[in-house]
Amino acid sequence: MEYIYSALVLHSAGKEITEDGIVNILKAAGVEPDTARVKALIAALDGVDIDEAMKTAAFAPVAAAPAVTAEGGAEKKEEKKEEAKEEEVSEEDAAAGLGALFG
């Protein structure tokens, strides 16, 4: 992530995203940069409109989340709690299962 963050720092500062720029930011942060990862990042960002990518990425998770009404959400929570209670296994049952594994 620190490699991507360094590219975003350069972008937000209005600087060109270069290998040297990323390496300098990483070193300033106390990270020993991996040359191969820096080159891979530069290659991956070639031709990418970072502003557009940030706009679409910022709204994609929100748009994908299902809308839940107050009533529907409460019912689902109760159902999940009931399912969780059914799945609980007593310690004795778990120990018996482990005993079967080890003879």
Q: Whats the size of the chain, residue-wise?
A: 103
Is residue 36 very low, low, confident or very high in pLDDT (cuts 50, 70, 90)?
very high
**pLDDT tens string 43-102:** 999 999 998 888 887 665 554 555 555 555 555 566 665 555 555 556 666 556 555 555
What is the token pair recorded at 37? 């990862």
H or E element, residue 47: none
- Report the largest interatomic distance among the alpha carbons of the chain, rounded to a whole angstrom: 67
Can you list the domains of the chain with their CATH numbers? 2-64 (1.10.10.1410), 70-102 (no CATH)
What pTM, to 2 d.p., does this model score?
A: 0.54
pLDDT score of 41: 93
